[in-house]
Amino acid sequence: MEIVISNAPFNRAAALALRQATFVTERGIPRDVEFDDRDTPERQYVVAYQRPELPVGTLRLEPQSDTEMRFGRVCTSQAVRGQGIGSQVLQAGEDWAKAHGFTVGIIDGELTAKTFYERCGYHVVGEPFDEDGAPVVTLKKKL
């Protein structure tokens, strides 16, 4: 498994392709909702590659302040779910954030993924809310 963190065109394309397959095709989220104004050429993406031509997990790094990093659009390929790739991608994002001075990780996760994030050390910090038609909670972790 290789994990790449960059805004290089190949890495951005891999992240967006995974999100298309996971959120748009599989989950039915409208494409104009999934791909938003935060998907800029400068945006850093964490992507796990099973092979150089096969991305299997991703997340988007979204700095919120000098100390808080939001890990957004976390997903893994349906074919490899349950194999720990999501945890590896999240850990790589956290390590990158810590190395760049961030001390808090934030995730707005769907309720269906809350247990996964809690296993990764995150804690719910508020009531569920609706985001694009799905119930979501905000979770935080000290990095």
Q: What is the pLDDT of residues 10-41, one digit of tens each?
A: 999 999 999 999 999 988 888 988 899 999 99
pTM exceeds 0.85, yes or no: yes
At 125, list the tokens.
Answer: 């910090």
Topology at the third CATH level for domain 2-142 = Aminopeptidase (3.40.630)
* Angle, alpha carbons 57-45-8 (nearest 5°): 115
Q: What is the pLDDT of residues 53-104, one digit of tens each?
A: 999 999 999 999 999 999 999 999 999 999 999 999 999 999 999 999 999 9
At 89, list the tokens.
Answer: 């991608």
CB 87 within 8 A of CB 77: no
From 131, 105, 103, 118, select the one nearest 46 (Cα to Cα): 105
The domain spans of the chain are 2-142
By CB neighbour count within 10 A (0-12 exposed, 13-18 middle, 19+ buried), where does 139 fall? buried
